[in-house]
Amino acid sequence: MSERILAVIPARFAAQRFPGKPLAMLWGRPMLQHVWERARAARGLDELVIATDDERIATAARAFGAGVEMTSTSCTSGTDRVAEVSRRRPGADIVFNLQGDEPELETDAVSALAAVMRADSSLRMGTVAHHEPDSAKFESENVVKVVVDDDDFALYFSRADLAGATRGGPALRHAGVYAFRRDLLLEFASWLPGTLELAERLEQLRAVQRGVRIKVVRGARPFSGVDTPEQMAELEARGPLA
């Protein structure tokens, strides 16, 4: 039997740099709705829910047709929310964490990651990255870089100019899409942040530092996350991808 995949979009209202970000309007709809619509179109996901501790987000999500799971206000990260939902779903074999602030989420990349995880039961964790044609974008610490080995497993993630990324080096641009075997996700949520995670402010390094091999699936095109109102304004002015 095919392994069952649960996909969770964690969303919180009180983001420091951009309060209310999931419900901010973009191209006529709440940003969270764009993420949900793109995720819903992905192949291979058996269940898709939005996880939040805020009734405003829950109400809006239900209005556009999403399933909602209310989670604890004590969750300190999106992964904690995803893990909380996963504990209620013992039948899920693989759990996806889809960031709620990536309105241009690449549906085909999510589909490819689902297929890769199902095809190889030895994979405990996977993610998505892509070639960035504009190397100048790697100058920003808000753009996370990843370098991979010859089998497309992550060697390291960084906010820094990793592997000469701004000079055309071999770094890829990382995207906030994660797949976990359910048992690993629950372990991960119980681990304390490691020194690499704290130094880089990148949660996935918690797994890397403990020797977890993260398979990197390459997407076909870049897609942007939103951290600030300024980035949202840039997307609004540019318009949605074709």
Q: Angle at which helices 55-63 and 31-40 pack, to 10 degrees?
A: 50
96 in a structural domain: yes
Q: Looking at residue 125, what is its pLDDT?
A: 98
Share of the chain above pLDDT 70, in %: 99
What is the b/e burial string over 70-106, where b = at least 16 CB atoms within 10 angstroms of the residue's CB?
ebeeebeebbbbbbbbbeebeebbbbbbbbbbbbbbb
81 in a structural domain: yes
Residue 17 scores a pLDDT above 90? no
Planar angle of CA 139, 21, 82, nearest 5 degrees = 90
User: Is 125 within 8 Å of 54 (Cβ atoms)?
Assistant: no
CATH of the domain at 37: 3.90.550.10
131 in a structural domain: yes
- Summarised one tens digit per residue, pLDDT across range 178-215 is 999 999 999 999 999 999 999 999 999 999 999 999 99
230 in a structural domain: no
- Summarised one tens digit per residue, pLDDT across range 19-28 is 899 999 999 9
Residue 1 scores a pLDDT above 70? no
240 in a structural domain: no
Band (pLDDT 50/70/90 cuts) for residue 242 is: low
- Summarised one tens digit per residue, pLDDT across range 153-171 is 999 999 999 999 999 999 9
241 in a structural domain: no
239 in a structural domain: no
Q: Looking at residue 142, what is its pLDDT?
A: 86
186 in a structural domain: yes
Structural domains of the chain, count:
1
Q: Determine the structural domain holding residue 173 and report its residue range.
A: 5-221
- Summarised one tens digit per residue, pLDDT across range 43-88 is 999 999 999 999 999 999 999 999 999 999 888 898 999 999 999 9
